[in-house]
Chains A and B, each alone.
Chain A
Amino acid sequence: MKAWLEISDLQKKIDDDFQLGPIDLRIVPGTITALVGNNGSGKSTLLKLIMNLANPDVGNIKVFGKFVYGQDESWKNQISYLPQTRIGWDAYSGNTLKRLIAPIYPNWDDALFIQIVELFNIPLNKPYRKLSQGIQQKLSLALTIPRNTPLLLLDEPTSFMDMPSKKQFVDLVVDWMDQDERAIIIASHQAEDIRKLSDYLCVIQNGKHVGTFEKETLTEHYMRYWIHGAFPEQRIPGEVTREKHQLISNDPAATENFLLKNNVTWTDRSKLDLEDIVSHLLNAGKEG
């Protein structure tokens, strides 16, 4: 399938201790990709690079076939970006911000804007700076999603929201994705967003791209075993970690084969939660 966004060999040195990349990533229509990583792993920087708000040292980014740093800026009509902090919004009310933003986007969906405002009960007459952080995020979403661009980039959109609102956000995104051919990249630490929305996880550890995985290639390949008796001393094929009677494997077939051959039995086995898998990936990235 044709990629809407193509990132190849992207590298950006932030300072002496931190470099982002090299990152390769393709986004195809109809998919949601979660950017996951520890704090300060470079997720926000990656989104800024896509929006051409920062310059890469090496590598290329193409949005709808156009280099983002090229003369032709037509790609900007095809992408919406929700940053973590809004610069220059403080003094304006939701009403004013909408009057400023809506005309820029030819596909602006006012009915959807009103729907989101009512869903989250957002006051439109107060200046942005007077709103709580959770409400600011809701207003920011209400002013971004109705732009109805095919590509949507969200940077931590729900971090300050209460639990019911996070759930409503998930349903909102699902509905939005069903309306037309669209794709989302969402940087998030929220387990709910990652479990319920993502198709792919792009895992970044301290700037290093650990990998991009389809969700089930992770959840179907990580298994926890409760081992009966003593562990063999050598490393077990597929072994990720071991402690006391528990073994975590990312290659259950190889692990079970080895255990059976060595007469090691297990009392139980169970798949891991996605959050646990992500933690293991990030820990492995740290060592590597």
Chain B
Amino acid sequence: MELPIRLSKDSREPIYHQIENQLKALIAGGQLVAGTPLPSIRALSKDLEISIITTRRAYQDLEHQGFIRTSQGKGTFVAEIEDATKQQVKISSVYQTIEKAVDTAIQYDYSLDQIEEIFQEVIRSQRLSQNEKGD
């Protein structure tokens, strides 16, 4: 099975970290439910065009944190995780995404006030479209 993981070509974030975060998001978001078999380290390395050293590191970290489990001879599976952990992953991924957006804006020389304005505009247009859907 192919996982919907996409590695960024211009990110400073190490690849193993990108894999960890995206897998956590898929698990916390419920796209990958407990018990789902994950690709072997070799197969995921092929799909993502990376070495098994990197993939193994990501899998080991995720296993230590309790997101996945490996059973000898059977493979790797999504683990049962607590709702509190799921919430935590969601919160931190939302924070990270917004932080990244702010970083991008700062790189383009926007002031914090300008960024706040953009942010509110995005929220306003979201509200509008949600209200329209509600009608």
Contact check, B53 vs A178: say whether CB atoms are below 8 A apart. Answer: no
User: Is A57 an interface position by the 8 A CB rule?
Assistant: no
Candidates A171, A199, A220; contact of B15 at CB < 8 Å:
A220
Contact check, A196 vs B46: say whether CB atoms are below 8 A apart. Answer: yes
Q: Which of A182-211 contact B (CB under 8 A)?
A: 195-200
How many A residues, CB 8 Å from partner? 23
User: Is B132 an interface position by the 8 A CB rule?
Assistant: no
User: Is A19 an interface position by the 8 A CB rule?
Assistant: no
Given the complex, which residues of A lie within 8 Å of B52, measured CB to CB? 30-31, 199
User: Is B40 an interface position by the 8 A CB rule?
Assistant: yes
Bound-state CA distance A169–B9 (Å) is 27
Contact check, A199 vs B46: say whether CB atoms are below 8 A apart. Answer: no
Bound-state CA distance A174–B46 (Å) is 8
Find the residue from B43, B50, B51, B53 having the highest chain A CB count within 10 A: B51
Contact check, B10 vs A271: say whether CB atoms are below 8 A apart. Answer: yes
CB 8 Å contact bits of B38-53 with A (1 = contact, 0 = none)? 0010110110011111
Contact check, B51 vs A214: say whether CB atoms are below 8 A apart. Answer: yes
Q: Which of B20-66 contact A (CB under 8 A)?
A: 40, 42-43, 45-46, 49-54
Closest to B49 in A: A195
CB distance from A159 to the nearest CB of B (A): 20
Given the complex, which residues of B lie within 8 Å of A195, measured CB to CB? 49
Q: A178-B43, A220-B15 are in contact. Are A199 and B53 (CB under 8 A)?
A: yes
Find the residue from A171, A216, A270 having the highest chain B CB count within 10 A: A216
User: Is A76 an interface position by the 8 A CB rule?
Assistant: no
Contact check, A199 vs B10: say whether CB atoms are below 8 A apart. Answer: no
Contact check, A178 vs B40: say whether CB atoms are below 8 A apart. Answer: yes
Bound-state CA distance A268–B10 (Å) is 9
Candidates A31, A198, A270; contact of B9 at CB < 8 Å:
A270
User: Is B14 an interface position by the 8 A CB rule?
Assistant: yes
Contact check, B10 vs A216: say whether CB atoms are below 8 A apart. Answer: no
CB distance from A35 to the nearest CB of B (A): 16
Contact check, B46 vs A170: say whether CB atoms are below 8 A apart. Answer: yes
Bound-state CA distance A195–B7 (Å) is 14
Bound-state CA distance A255–B50 (Å) is 25
User: Is A281 an interface position by the 8 A CB rule?
Assistant: no
Bound-state CA distance A196–B50 (Å) is 7
Contact check, A216 vs B15: say whether CB atoms are below 8 A apart. Answer: yes
Contact check, B49 vs A196: say whether CB atoms are below 8 A apart. Answer: yes
Given the complex, which residues of B lie within 8 Å of A31, measured CB to CB? 52
Contact check, B46 vs A198: say whether CB atoms are below 8 A apart. Answer: no
Contact check, B53 vs A174: say whether CB atoms are below 8 A apart. Answer: no
Given the complex, which residues of A lie within 8 Å of B54, measured CB to CB? 215-216
User: Is A97 an interface position by the 8 A CB rule?
Assistant: no
CB 8 Å contact bits of B74-108 with A (1 = contact, 0 = none)? 00000000000000000000000000000000000
Contact check, B42 vs A178: say whether CB atoms are below 8 A apart. Answer: yes
Contact surface of A with B, Cβ cutoff 8 Å: 30-31, 170-171, 174, 177-178, 195-200, 214-216, 219-220, 268-271, 274
Given A31-B52, A216-B15, A270-B9: 8 more A-B contacts, CB < 8 Å: A171-B46, A200-B51, A215-B50, A215-B51, A216-B51, A219-B15, A268-B10, A274-B49
